[in-house]
């Protein structure tokens, strides 16, 4: 049993060590929200990857909703619009493609969260595969922690 545990824990550690995302805690998230309130030109875009119903029941201030089932398609569309400068239509309500963080742009950041981390991990994988390496943050405790601290 201990050999199996060692193999699994080693595999899990290696998976997360390959990640380029910065994991943040609730204090850091609250700091980002406060800086957005004092500086509307904040370069951090917060994306909630829960369902629309979950989002409508409560969400982190200033967050945009891109449900995990649509995340890859929506992110690809936003990035394609950024690279072609094609209009201002966005697959995400309220998000102008020109204001959305570009992959590896050190002046902006994409922050992902869900309810408790599972969908965040999936969205993180998609974002990293699309080039978000050095400007990606994740809040794994998600809405479960944040919502209970309001």
- Name every residue whose Cβ is closer than 8 Å to that of residue 148 and which is 6 or more positions away in sequence: none
Whether residue 51 has pLDDT greater than 90: yes
**What's the pLDDT band for 13 if we cut at 50, 70, 90?**
very low
Q: Which residue has the higher pLDDT, 120 or 4?
A: 120
State the helix-helix crossing angle for 118-129 and 68-84, rounded to 10 degrees.
30
Residue-level pLDDT at 136: 96
Pair type for strands 109-113 and 136-139: parallel
CB atoms under 10 Å from CB of 94, counted, come to 9
Whether residue 1 has pLDDT greater than 90: no
What residue ranges define each of the domains in the chain, with the CATH number in brackets? 19-148 (3.40.250.10)
List C-alpha distances in Å: 66 to 15, 49, 106, 114.
25, 5, 23, 10
Q: Tell me the two tokens of residue 78.
A: 């936003």
Q: Which residue has the higher pLDDT, 32 or 16?
A: 32
Whether residue 100 has pLDDT greater than 90: no
Q: Of 51-55, 89-93, 104-108, which gets the smallest average pLDDT?
A: 89-93
**What's the pLDDT band for 10 if we cut at 50, 70, 90?**
very low
Residue-level pLDDT at 28: 96
| CB-CB contact of 136 with 108 (8 Å) | no
Calpha distance 112→76 (Å, rounded): 16
Per residue in 108-129, pLDDT (tens digit) is: 999 999 999 999 999 999 999 9
Q: Tell me the two tokens of residue 149.
A: 């601290």
């Amino acid at each position: 049993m201990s050999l199996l545990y060692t193999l699994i824990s080693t595999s899990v550690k290696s998976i997360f060590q390959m990640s380029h995302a910065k994991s943040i805690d609730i204090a850091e998230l609250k700091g980002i929200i406060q800086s957005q309130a004092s500086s509307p030109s904040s370069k951090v875009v917060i994306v909630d990857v829960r369902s629309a119903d979950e989002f409508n029941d409560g969400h982190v201030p200033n967050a945009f909703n891109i449900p995990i089932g649509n995340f890859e398609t929506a992110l690809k569309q936003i990035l394609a619009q950024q690279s072609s400068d094609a209009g201002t239509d966005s697959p995400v309500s309220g998000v102008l493609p020109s204001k959305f963080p570009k992959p590896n742009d050190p002046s902006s950041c994409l922050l992902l969260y869900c309810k408790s981390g599972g969908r965040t991990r999936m969205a993180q994988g998609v974002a990293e595969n699309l080039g978000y390496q050095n400007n990606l943050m994740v809040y794994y405790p998600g809405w479960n922690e944040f919502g209970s601290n309001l």
